[in-house]
Amino acid sequence: MRRVRLYDTTLRDGTQGEGVSFSVKDKIKIAQRLDELGVDYIEGGWPGSNPKDIEFFRAIQDVPLLHAKIAAFGSTRRANVPVEDDYNIKALAASNTPVVTIVGKSWDFHVTAALRTTLEENLRMISDSVSYFKKLGKEVIYDAEHFFDGFKNNPDYAVDTLRVAQEASADCLVLCDTNGGVLTIPLQDIVEEMLALFKNVPMGIHAHNDSGVAIANTLVAVMAGVEHVQGTINGYGERCGNANLCSVIPNLELKMGVRCLGDGMLANLTHLSRYVSELANLSHDERQPYVGHSSFAHKGGIHVSAVQRAAQTYEHIDPEKVGNHRRVLVSELSGRSSILYKATEYGLDLDKDDPHTREIIEKLKRLEYEGYQFEAAEGSFELLMREAMGEHNPFFHLEGFRVIVEKKGDLPTLSEATIKVRVGDEVVHTAAEGDGPVHALDRALRKALEQIYPALKDIRLTDFKVRVLDEKAGTAALVRVLIESSNDGKSWETVGVSENIIEASWQALVDSIEYGLLKTISQKELEVEQA
């Protein structure tokens, strides 16, 4: 089987993406994960550009890696400066990495306009910089910046830049679409032409996504014969990002028969992708191919019933291969098969002829029409199903609540809630203050219920989202509240809808507590039974 070498630049090009920033510790952790996955090269940063990258190169030397080589990235020496005196070159050498990646200009216009030097001097800059690191015994990768634009503008010169890099013994020539503007077919033509010209040196591809085709450009370059592939996890990178390795890798391995990871490592891809999102402190792109939460989520009724019969009807690959999983979403588009699928998931005994099935579907459609959404509120949906089937007795009943919000002059706003709930024959009446009306209500409700259900102490409210729904123009705006709660590493979402934000929050809050108690208490009973 053919194999290409993967060169990850999440820690360098990736951090140039808007909103992406990693601490040195984060960078080390990501490097370790990439190494475990079997990535061949990890570009750690540009030591000439910032002290954080210098610190990374120092720290990574003490980290044992199984397979990957660490690369330091930097530009060719400046014009008219001896290579050994150049600040950037010195910083690269000081990084003490086995691999050095030198980026040089291929586009004549950049040489004269940006570097303001002669075309001949630029060739010497490339040659001197590559030779310098070869003499130090390094593996040198040459990144030909703006290669495709340069080639279109002045093909002879662009080729000359590659030739001097090759003559200086570069180990790989990487064609870079630095501004991401080249479409796939012209790119393929140029890559093929270069592969024919440079037969004795491996070539690579570095694609940006400004035209939305970075992944396609990378794949055709591999088809054409490049042996070295650059990209980033989750496609992070300057502007619209780099070629997303989370798509490139499975496309290569599963669809093109090209190996690029260690044995059995593909199944860790989804996990790695989420891990990197988490360290970047960015919300995970759930719609990205292969590794998103939605990548194998089925919503349309026909899709769901077909997938249950044969998954390949609507799934291009088995989700487990990349460590992802199939999901069935409940919504107004759901038919019987989705409801039955969920019943099995929840451990409920329901079959297609059960009148409850129709009843649940109708209720679901009506509620979604009213503005509820259960795709992201499965806690509420499970309760809805259980209640419809007569399998859930509420843990408490509301007798009434009152919420007061008070603002006086410049003093902070005060919120206070009083609440009366009934549990069996017992009526509990409490009051609490909070940072806002919903917080006050949550605290008062908990105060009342914790006396009876101590398990509630461990259930925490972890997220609260409000959305104004404008789908029904002409009436007062509805608001939808989504609450996420968690206990012991498990989390669940619940929903409420009303024209009144307190009412909507209350509904979501009640479901969140009912669901939490249902899971905690039935789990405890199970443990007692087993003991």
Contact stretch for Zn ion (CB under 5 A) within 6-14, 306-314, 320-328, 398-406: 6-14
**What is the spatial distance between Cα 11 and Cα 44, in angstroms, rounded to a whole number?**
5
Residue 162: CB minimum distance to Zn ion, A:
17
CB of 179 to Zn ion, least distance (A): 9
Q: Compute the distance between CA of residue 216 and CA of residue 405 in angstroms, rounded to an integer.
A: 56
128 sits near Zn ion (criterion: CB under 5 A): no
- Minimum Å distance from CB 93 to Zn ion? 22
In the complex with Zn ion, the residue whose CB is nearer, 187 or 322, is: 187
Task: Kindly report the number of other CB atoms within 10 A of residue 352's CB atom.
Answer: 10
Per-residue interface string for the shown chain with Zn ion, residues 190-229, x marking contact by CB under 5 A: ----------------------------------------
- Token look-up 């905690």 returns 520
DSSP state at residue 154: -
Judged by beta carbon, residue 13 or residue 253, the one nearer Zn ion is 13
Cβ 199 to Zn ion, closest distance in Å?
A: 26
Exposed (0-12), middle (13-18) or buried (19+): which is 522, by Cβ within 10 Å?
exposed
Contact of 507 with 497, CB cutoff 8 Å: yes
Which range in 12-20, 376-384, 413-421, 468-476 contacts Zn ion by CB under 5 A? 12-20
Instruction: Provide the angle, in degrees to the nearest 10, between the axes of the packed helices 184-197 and 214-224.
Output: 30
- Using CB under 5 A as the binding criterion, the count of chain residues that bind Zn ion stands at 1
Nearest distance from C-beta of residue 243 to Zn ion, angstroms = 9
For Zn ion, which is the closer residue by CB, 210 or 375? 210
Q: Which stretch binds Zn ion (CB under 5 A): 10-18, 81-89, 215-223, 385-393?
A: 10-18
Q: Which is nearer to Zn ion, 145 or 368 (CB)?
A: 145
- Minimum distance between the CB of residue 118 and Zn ion, rounded to whole angstroms? 26
Tokens of 33: 């994960």
CB 204 within 8 A of CB 174: yes
Angle at 8 between CA 182 and CA 76, to 5 degrees: 70
CB closer to Zn ion, 239 vs 460: 239
Contact between 13 and Zn ion by CB under 5 A: the answer reads yes
Shortest reach from residue 350's CB to Zn ion, in Å: 53
Pair 285, 292: CB distance under 8 Å: yes
Q: Which stretch binds Zn ion (CB under 5 A): 7-15, 220-228, 357-365, 442-450?
A: 7-15
The first and second tokens of residue 427, run together, are 């009526």
Cα dist. 209→262, 288, 370 in Å? 27, 14, 40
- Minimal distance in Å, beta carbon 74 to Zn ion? 14
- Between 13 and 128, name the residue whose CB sits nearer to Zn ion: 13
Looking at the Cβ atoms of 95 and 178, the one nearer to Zn ion is: 178
Residue at 226: amino acid letter: V
φ/ψ of residue 310, rounded to 5: -150, 110
For residues 502 and 497, what is the distance between their CA atoms, to the nearest angstrom? 10
Question: Minimum CB separation from Zn ion for residue 530, in Å?
Answer: 56
Cβ 73 to Zn ion shortest distance, Å: 10
Quote the CA–CA distance of 249 and 323 in Å, as a whole number. 13
What are the φ/ψ torsions at residue 437 (nearest 5 degrees)? Answer: -60, -40
Single out the segment in contact with Zn ion by CB under 5 A; choices: 5-13, 316-324, 366-374, 425-433.
5-13
Q: With CB under 5 A as the contact rule, which of the stretches 11-19, 260-268, 320-328, 463-471 interacts with Zn ion?
A: 11-19
Radius of gyration in angstroms for the set of CA atoms belonging to the chain, rounded to a whole number: 29
Query: Binding of Zn ion at residue 86 (CB under 5 A)?
Result: no
Residue number of the CB atom closest to Zn ion = 13
CB of 206 to Zn ion, least distance (A): 6
* Closer CB to Zn ion, 13 or 35, in the complex: 13
Q: How far apart are the first and last CA of the chain?
A: 53
User: Buried b vs exposed e over 196-210: b needs ≥16 C-beta within 10 Å?
Assistant: eebeebbbbbbbbbb
Nearer to Zn ion, 13 or 108 (CB): 13
Q: Which is nearer to Zn ion, 13 or 442 (CB)?
A: 13
Cβ distance to Zn ion smaller for residue 178 or 338: 178
Tell me the window of 13-21, 47-55, 65-73, 339-347 that interacts with Zn ion (CB under 5 A): 13-21
Of 99 and 495, the one with the shorter C-beta distance to Zn ion is: 99
CB of 239 to Zn ion, least distance (A): 10
CA distances for 487 relative to 14, 240, 456, 465, 492, angstroms: 34, 37, 9, 19, 9
Stretch binding Zn ion (CB under 5 A), from 8-16, 101-109, 140-148, 375-383: 8-16
- Closest approach, Cβ 231 to Zn ion, in A, equals 10
Residue whose CB is less far from Zn ion, 13 or 149: 13
DSSP assignment string, 423-455: ETTEEEEEEEEESSHHHHHHHHHHHHHHTT-GG
Query: Where are the alpha helices (H) located in 112-257, listed in sequence order?
Result: 119-135, 147-153, 155-167, 184-197, 214-224, 245-250
Binding site for Zn ion (CB under 5 A): 13
